[in-house]
Amino acid sequence: ETGVTQSPTHLIKTRGQQVTLRCSSQSGHNTVSWYQQALGQGPQFIFQYYREEENGRGNFPPRFSGLQFPNYSSELNVNALELDDSALYLCASSSTAAKNEQFFGPGTRLTVL
Amino acid sequence: GQSLEQPSEVTAVEGAIVQINCTYQTSGFYGLSWYQQHDGGAPTFLSYNALDGLEETGRFSSFLSRSDSYGYLLLQELQMKDSASYFCAVSDQAGTALIFGKGTTLSVSS
């Protein structure tokens, strides 16, 4: 059984640029959630996708957008990057049978200069 | 608003028992989860409580009191590898967003 994978591992961008982060969910999982974790803080919920539809969104501006594909993998897109977007971006997947247990990927460390 | 409070740091020695408390104030409540995160690593699921009472999983136990909006994680027979950050998280509906606390850094010394 393959766990949650994310790419890239690290990324450096400059203000105003756009970025796409990718996540492959664990086998058999149909729900993907994205979180932003600033240094020394807990993860903050960005949004969740279930069967290719957005299924909830946290307090993030519209320049944070996402997609889920038929194979349940997912993308997080961030436009017009700001310095405060520098953080660890975590993807988590879960299954319908065990909704309350989320399996996290290793994250993508984004640095905005 | 939504808030979860947990201590920022806890220290203990190997073999000891530690309790990490979490109080929450959220607009909706479905369950309380606990996650462990080692430095530079992914959060990993430890436990979930939807009903009042104690859930035990090996050396770790988790407790919930819905009427008090309070829960705790109990770690027994501490080992050096337990040094990590521990987060409580509330879900307002089954399987939806997790609202995390700021985390408790546990340092275990020999």
Q: Over the stretch A9-60, which tens digit does the pLDDT of each residue have? A: 999 999 999 999 999 999 889 999 999 999 999 999 999 999 999 999 999 9
Beta partners for B48? B33
Query: In this complex, is the C-beta atom of B66 within 8 Å of any C-beta atom belonging to chain A?
Result: no
B53 three-class SS: strand
CA distance A99 to B57: 19
Best residue of B96, B99, B104, B105 to probe chain A, by most A CBs closer than 10 Å: B96
CB pairs under 8 A between A and B: 60
Q: Where are the alpha helices (DSSP H) in B1-110?
A: none
Check if the beta carbon of residue A55 is closer than 8 Å to that of residue A73.
no
How do strand A10-13 and strand A108-112 relate by DSSP bridges?
Answer: parallel
Best residue of A100, A103, A104, A108 to probe chain B, by most B CBs closer than 10 Å: A100
Which pLDDT value is given to residue A1? 58
Check if the beta carbon of residue B100 is closer than 8 Å to that of residue B92.
no
Per residue in A79-104, pLDDT (tens digit) is 999 999 999 999 999 988 777 899 99
Query: In this complex, is the C-beta atom of A79 within 8 Å of any C-beta atom belonging to chain B?
Result: no
Dmax (CA) of chain A = 42
Per residue in B57-66, pLDDT (tens digit) is 999 999 999 9
Residues in Cβ contact with A101 at an 8 Å cutoff, skipping those fewer than 6 apart? A94, B33, B45, B48
